[in-house]
Structure 1
Amino acid sequence: MAALISRVGKRLRRIIQRPGSIELTRYEPLVPAIEKLEEELKKLSDAELTERAGELREGGKSGDDELIEICALGREAARRALDERAFDVQLLGAIGLLTGHVVQMDTGEGKTLAGALAAAGYALRGKRVHVVTVNDYLARRDAEWMKPIYDLLGVSVGWIEPSHSREERKEAYSAEVTYGAVAEIGFDVLRDRLVTNVDDLVQREPEIAIVDEADSVLVDEARVPLVMAGSIDHTDADEEVANIVRRLRLGLHYETDSDGRNAWLTKAGASVVEKALGGDINLYDETGSDRLPAVNVALHAHALLTRDVDYIVRDGKVQLINAARGRVAELQRWPDGLQAAVEAKEQVAATDRGEILDSITVQALLARYPSVAGMTGTAVAVAEQLREFYKLEVAVIPPNTENIREDQPDRIFASPSQKLRAIEEEIRKVHETGRPILVGTQDVAESEELAEKLAKVDLECVVLNARNDAQEASIIADAGKKGAVTVSTQMAGRGTDIRLGGKDGAGREEVAELGGLHVIGTARYPSSRLDGQLRGRSGRQGDPGSAVFFASLNDELVLSNAPDIPEGIDTDENGEITADAAHRQIDHAQRVAEGVDLEIHRNTWRYTRLIERQRGDLLKHRDEVLRTALAAEGLEADEPEKFKELAEKVDDPAKVEQICREVLLYHIDQLWSDHLAYLTDVRESIHLRALARETPLDEFHRAAIPEFHKIIPEAAARAAKTLVEAEITDDGIDLADAGVRRANTTWTYLVHDNPFDSDFEQTLKKVRSMIKRK
């Protein structure tokens, strides 16, 4: 009876506290069975342990018996290799991953080890595993850290990072378990889609993905396109337009909307620009229409993008800041000339511009894997999205030690300046006790402003932001020392635990007695998950700690998402507000922000789903061309005389095949690039169909599908034309002379903003928001 009551109680708590999650209750009886195997496995030598793990590859066990064996072997390997005996909850986490779920484990509960045990288990089942991380540092760190475990289990492991050559990447992907940042894995997919020789492929068919920080990767970055581009020459026009726009003034020459998404010229502004460009043009007719796009992106760069918030300038380069992580977004650029406009604005050397050769969203990248699992500290909040977009369920793993962190109520102020003074006072008061303090700021500018103010009152702090993110591991490692004050932009996804007493934990007991780490948020984030991730830096593995957020009714979150402040909210002499209405307003603003992001995600996927289906169909054809003699057979059938001449002069069937292959692949790739550009143009204007009571998505499909079906026959026709017009020598065809010129330089980047947004859709969102508020 008691057991029944306990089970019912657990389920009720899950329904009330964790909507959208599932229980791993059925696997809990496996834990004692795993423990029973410990003494038996301890008696084995290292070689015998490896041999026993190898027996799993032969398929002798399945179901629960297999899970028990995997976890028992993994626990013993970790004990020997790292002197870490996996907690029962870590084994449950590994089982959750091995059964294809997203597991939620609190910060500091050992997700890295649980992920390694699951990856090894999949490998012993004969599957190739990609452990997908949020950055390159974590990919290398986790692969090297966990390698001794993999070695004992007889599982090969590798990792990829930006500096790796093609051969190094191929070697890493040939391992049974490969660690890599989501962007690097995606870029390798794009590079493989452009090769003309099978030997140049680095990846194999995807099988299993285990995603670290799953909510960040699968939700926050899901709509972010990874882009492969080929270089074209840039012009000096960007600098000319930037110099003109730099002189424009807000309210006189241009206006912006309330949420900072759009900027436009006034009549006076258009007149100033036209005069500066020569005086004989009109930006809005044929005489100036070719200059209008450059003016618009320059105005966007000038009016809407802020240095040290949206980007930093370092080493003479404009570098974007990943808003979700507060760090430089490596290899990330703005699209459509905006990158060049910002470079001109900041008067730094212009980087190459290029045409997009191919792109893929993070969501589409993960959709390639037949099986996806993930782990994070904050998954329940996005459980419905994980189910909707990935058909994944969340399994909540209880902490090994009860969380005793004190989460204090938000402190809300009327203005940002009053809030900042209160934050300074909070830091001073807590610092006097000797407790370590972690302050989470919204952006680089805020972190540096706060650091300057603290320095003026003799409060020394260490700043971690996009300017010095290379030192983040060492900075975070010592953030738990007695008396330490660390100011960081966005702690989510940094992947480094803060240990009380510092990295060696020597002063842990003293810091614990003082009350542990105190976390301060300088504003609520656009997502409740980010709030939770910052709070979760304190109270690690049952440590004492506390967390408090400061907020203002004039914070960006409120002004952008819920600017209609209720009347009658009183403040005390310090500007602090205690009224419940203020708390409700900030919670409402956060929910609106989360809703907007979800709608953008849904909208993006509605359009990219068709593109991904088309890409998949075309890639099947491209792969057949790459691996077979299809190109040569097609050209021989279309142009038999010219093909015969080529075959006679070259006199090497393999070389003839490769020449034909390169010609056809070039035209396939070029036509796909043109198709992507066409779809972008269609998408940017498709919202106008709504004014005619037509469904934009249906119209997009009607425009996209017929054009796609033209690609393969058109590529064959162009390849035949190239063959006919080419001059054939004993060496074959000079491909460059025949017009088969691939980009002399290619590079990869992520598009920063929402690629499928529009002014019209923004207006619809505002109307819907107003209706909801009424």
Structure 2
Amino acid sequence: MGTRVRQLMERPGTADMSRYRPVVAEAGRLEDEFREVPAAELTAAAGRLRASGRAFGKAELARVCALGREAAHRTLDERPFDVQLLGTLGMLGGNVVEMSTGEGKTLVGALAAVGFALQGRRVHVVSVNDYLARRDAEWMRELYAMLGVSVGWVGEDEDWEHRREAYECDVTYVSVSEVGFDVLRDRLRTDVAEVVLPAPDVVIVDEADSVMIDEAIVPLVLAGSVEHGHGDDEVAKIVDTLVAGRHYEVDGDKRNVYLTDAGIDQVQARLGGVDLYTVEHAELLTRIQLALHAHSLLHRDVDYLVRNDKVELINAARGRVALLQRWPDGLQAAVEAKEGVAVSPTGEVLDSMLVQELIGRYRTVCGMSGTAVAVADQLKEFYRLDTGSIPTNVPGIREDEPDRLYETADQKDDALVDYVREMHESGRPVLLGTLSVAESESIAERLAEAGIEGAVLNAKNDAEEAGIIARAGEFGRVTISTQMAGRGTDIRLGSRDGDGYERVVELGGLCVVGTGRYHTGRLDDQLRGRAGRQGDPGSSVFFTSLEDAVMMHHVPDLRQPAKIDPDGRVHDGRTQRAMDHAQRVAEGAHLAIHRNTWRYHQLTKIQREEVVEHRDRVLREELAAERLRELRPERYEELLETVGEKALAAAARSIVLYHLDRRWSEHLAFLTDVREGIHLRALGRETPIDEFHRIAVTEFAEFFGVVYQSSSETFDRAEITSDGVDLESLGLKRPTSIWTYMVNDNPFGTSGARFLEYLGSKVRDGAIKLGLRN
């Protein structure tokens, strides 16, 4: 009744999937029609649907489902359940569908892709990493072939030719980062034949909550004119001598760190007696603050790894190495200096875009996840998407125990080891979900001391994660995993060849153990969902403590629990509710950051779209020649006679494209600088976001005027022949190389905001007066 009321109120997360049941029923009636026909006839039937050239109604959708079911049975030896067809239809209707782990989302995504492709749509199936993109494309290839649908995949190491061929297929599997980087690279093409991506049409997002919410505000960056940055080795060494509590203090939520008076004196003395609080040393002060953040708030094997003499970030949502990802604001160089590794290249940002903007480019967006309903409000707010839940094929019987809450982290770990030992001695498989690489290794050591050898799955061996996680349901096996490493991989009870299934079932199935609450309840649910697939037995329990990060950061002033056992276990409902509250506070903080970041980027997105549309006209049409002819008619007519119309148009295109790209890069840098210091506007009682918009709009008003003024000046000076235009002789060089990366948005805010907070703290403490001394 509650769900029906929510549906009537059109609450997010309550899209009515039952409306597709008549179509599923009709698909069932059509099964006999296709069961005995040759494979060639299945292909021909799919071809007749494609040839109709129109959007499908209920009758055509039923045939798609029936054809897909038969093709899956023949090529994969899997007959899609009715609930899988419901999920397929839900996505074909433009929704995000929630399907529990083990319910066959990969096949559902493929059937939805077929349904779109047979309507003449071009489909991108976007995943969280390259491994899943390639695996799923190759796994479903025969299914697609039987239905006459071409499929390709794109990975990080693929060359231009492979990418071009893959994107020409009806369905392309690709990670969110790679399709984003290809969009950015295409925006720098100077020859239309080099563009690899077609116009965005349909995107099916796998792990939709992870891609569209957790990573929504991650910027994808294209950089050029690469040079190596300069590490602050001297500053890192000075900061390394500082003592917490004496020389610096960390605030309650572990997001900011400040030098004390003693710390300021020591740093200034080590630097030769400089006064950091003067205008001339403002940049040095920022470098010290960044080094202090790197030293005290970013931790090795928790926030990043050092591997192959490089600093590699760890994705907070997945517990895996975030390939091509880095910190902004010099923080990357500060961490590298801290660890004594080579400083990575830095370069001028040529273009960038948020993941949310990337997904929003597509005409049709849909997706699937095991925990989509929990973020239904956000999917509606940021993407205007409805979300609905698909029932399981077989009722779930997993037992989810209440948290086992302990007073201290050590007491929690002792109890956890005892619990795992008890399960292991019975032969029951155990999957431990930990919060960091460091914790996964610490737990593995404690278990080893107790005589329990576990397979450790963390960001250090992510290349093997699928094989390790797939075996987690074997008899007697203990698997230790960072967060949701191995998402997208099915865990079957017993051995991989099906041996021992009944034995594990009798023991209660897979036992999932969490070593603490994550920053969002969705990740808790995802971990729990690894047990109890397809009606199998299973259980889950989380071991938590009052010293866990989520509690200490978000409920720092918790009262002492009323009842604590000798072993430290807390039996206090109020304290347990405080843990739930802390997690909700963490979720709210993330949502606030998401909203604020998107507000700042929306105007940039609109301006980018205008520039991209104009650039595309320059690239594909004769707009550049027309504009330069208007601006420099005499020069144009003179060159027309000597080099010809074709060569002149090509030269004009090269000139205008150079200045368009140059100006856009400068505009992005300008907006970054404005946003960096926009918080200072708060001192003048101005609203930072409104002021940012005012400045950005004013600056952009002159954008195209500057582009064509610069282009006309270059047109006057450049040497233009029938072979082309020589821009390099004028010092107008395009980047000799370009590279891509993802920015892990600075968890401590912009340096301007940090410095303002720092000054504010000193004012409150009476240590210094607001403002820099001259």
SS at match of 1:328: coil
Contact residue 434 and residue 483 of structure 2 kept, 8 A: yes
Alpha-carbon shift at residue 410 of structure 1 (Å): 0.3
The aligned counterpart of 1:113 is 107
- Structure 1 residues 52 and 580: alpha-carbon distance in aligned structure 2, compared to 1, 3 A threshold: same
The aligned counterpart of 2:169 is 175
Count of aligned pairs: 756
SS at match of 2:666: helix
Alpha-carbon shift at residue 236 of structure 1 (Å): 4.1
The aligned counterpart of 1:557 is 550
SS at match of 1:409: coil
Alpha-carbon shift at residue 694 of structure 1 (Å): 2.7
Structure 1 letter corresponding to 2:194:
D
- Structure 1 residues 231 and 245: alpha-carbon distance in aligned structure 2, compared to 1, 3 A threshold: farther
Alpha-carbon shift at residue 248 of structure 1 (Å): 2.2
Alpha-carbon shift at residue 218 of structure 1 (Å): 1.1
The aligned counterpart of 1:739 is 731
SS at match of 1:250: coil
The aligned counterpart of 2:504 is 511
Out of 282-291 and 315-324, give the one that drifted further: 282-291
- Structure 1 residues 734 and 384: alpha-carbon distance in aligned structure 2, compared to 1, 3 A threshold: same
Structure 2 letter corresponding to 1:462:
A
Is 2:441 the partner of 1:448? yes
Structure 1 letter corresponding to 2:736:
N
The aligned counterpart of 1:223 is 217
**Aligned with 2:705 (options 710, 713, 726):** 713
SS at match of 2:294: helix
- Structure 1 residues 9 and 228: alpha-carbon distance in aligned structure 2, compared to 1, 3 A threshold: closer
Is 2:35 the partner of 1:42? yes
SS at match of 1:226: strand
Alpha-carbon shift at residue 689 of structure 1 (Å): 3.0
Structure 2 letter corresponding to 1:543:
D
> 1:47 & 1:383 partners in 2: Cα distance?
42
Out of 722-731 and 668-677, give the one that drifted further: 722-731
Contact residue 684 and residue 756 of structure 1 kept, 8 A: no
- Structure 1 residues 748 and 438: alpha-carbon distance in aligned structure 2, compared to 1, 3 A threshold: same
> 2:230 & 2:19 partners in 1: Cα distance?
66
Alignment of 1:605-684 (within 5 A): 605-644=598-637, 646-647=639-640, 651-684=643-676
Kindly, what percent of the aligned residue pairs are identical? 56
Contact residue 406 and residue 412 of structure 2 kept, 8 A: yes
The aligned counterpart of 2:285 is 292
Alpha-carbon shift at residue 30 of structure 1 (Å): 2.1
The aligned counterpart of 1:771 is none
SS at match of 1:29: helix
Alpha-carbon shift at residue 568 of structure 1 (Å): 4.3
The aligned counterpart of 2:249 is 255
- Structure 1 residues 379 and 235: alpha-carbon distance in aligned structure 2, compared to 1, 3 A threshold: closer
Contact residue 492 and residue 530 of structure 1 kept, 8 A: no
The aligned counterpart of 1:580 is 573
Structure 2 letter corresponding to 1:283:
L
1:624-650 CA-to-partner distances (Å, cap 9, x unmatched) read 11112222232233234444555555x
Structure 2 alignment gaps of length 5 or more: 761-774
The aligned counterpart of 1:406 is 399
SS at match of 1:37: helix
SS at match of 2:600: helix
SS at match of 2:73: helix
Alpha-carbon shift at residue 336 of structure 1 (Å): 2.1
The aligned counterpart of 1:722 is 714
Contact residue 492 and residue 534 of structure 1 kept, 8 A: no
Alignment of 1:136-175 (within 5 A): 136-175=130-169
The aligned counterpart of 1:94 is 88
Contact residue 232 and residue 333 of structure 2 kept, 8 A: yes
Alpha-carbon shift at residue 491 of structure 1 (Å): 1.6
Alpha-carbon shift at residue 670 of structure 1 (Å): 1.6
Is 2:176 the partner of 1:198? no
- Structure 1 residues 499 and 288: alpha-carbon distance in aligned structure 2, compared to 1, 3 A threshold: same
Alpha-carbon shift at residue 759 of structure 1 (Å): 8.2
Alpha-carbon shift at residue 277 of structure 1 (Å): 3.5
Out of 390-399 and 745-754, give the one that drifted further: 745-754
- Structure 1 residues 301 and 760: alpha-carbon distance in aligned structure 2, compared to 1, 3 A threshold: closer
Contact residue 566 and residue 581 of structure 1 kept, 8 A: no
Contact residue 12 and residue 386 of structure 2 kept, 8 A: no
Alpha-carbon shift at residue 567 of structure 1 (Å): 3.6
**Aligned with 1:531 (options 524, 537, 546):** 524
Alpha-carbon shift at residue 251 of structure 1 (Å): 2.4
Alpha-carbon shift at residue 100 of structure 1 (Å): 0.7
- Structure 1 residues 590 and 493: alpha-carbon distance in aligned structure 2, compared to 1, 3 A threshold: farther
The aligned counterpart of 2:466 is 473
Alpha-carbon shift at residue 296 of structure 1 (Å): 2.3
The aligned counterpart of 2:233 is 239
> 2:205 & 2:24 partners in 1: Cα distance?
24
**Aligned with 1:751 (options 743, 750, 760):** 743
Structure 1 alignment gaps of length 5 or more: 1-7, 768-774
Contact residue 517 and residue 546 of structure 1 kept, 8 A: yes
The aligned counterpart of 1:695 is 687
Structure 2 letter corresponding to 1:697:
I
Structure 2 letter corresponding to 1:450:
I
1:125-160 CA-to-partner distances (Å, cap 9, x unmatched) read 000011111111000000100111110010011110
> 1:760 & 1:583 partners in 2: Cα distance?
38
Contact residue 134 and residue 493 of structure 1 kept, 8 A: no
Alpha-carbon shift at residue 493 of structure 1 (Å): 6.4
Alpha-carbon shift at residue 26 of structure 1 (Å): 1.7
> 1:467 & 1:723 partners in 2: Cα distance?
53
- Structure 1 residues 108 and 327: alpha-carbon distance in aligned structure 2, compared to 1, 3 A threshold: same
Alpha-carbon shift at residue 388 of structure 1 (Å): 1.1
- Structure 1 residues 550 and 18: alpha-carbon distance in aligned structure 2, compared to 1, 3 A threshold: farther
Structure 1 letter corresponding to 2:678:
I
> 2:152 & 2:44 partners in 1: Cα distance?
21
Structure 1 letter corresponding to 2:223:
A
The aligned counterpart of 1:3 is none
Alpha-carbon shift at residue 331 of structure 1 (Å): 0.6
The aligned counterpart of 1:124 is 118
> 2:715 & 2:263 partners in 1: Cα distance?
53
**Aligned with 1:594 (options 575, 587, 609):** 587
1:280-321 CA-to-partner distances (Å, cap 9, x unmatched) read x32221332232332222222112110000000011111000
Is 2:180 the partner of 1:186? yes
The aligned counterpart of 2:206 is 212
Alpha-carbon shift at residue 604 of structure 1 (Å): 1.1
- Structure 1 residues 353 and 639: alpha-carbon distance in aligned structure 2, compared to 1, 3 A threshold: same
Is 2:19 the partner of 1:26? yes
Alpha-carbon shift at residue 76 of structure 1 (Å): 0.7
Is 2:332 the partner of 1:312? no
The aligned counterpart of 2:334 is 341
**Aligned with 2:409 (options 413, 416, 434):** 416
Alpha-carbon shift at residue 513 of structure 1 (Å): 0.9
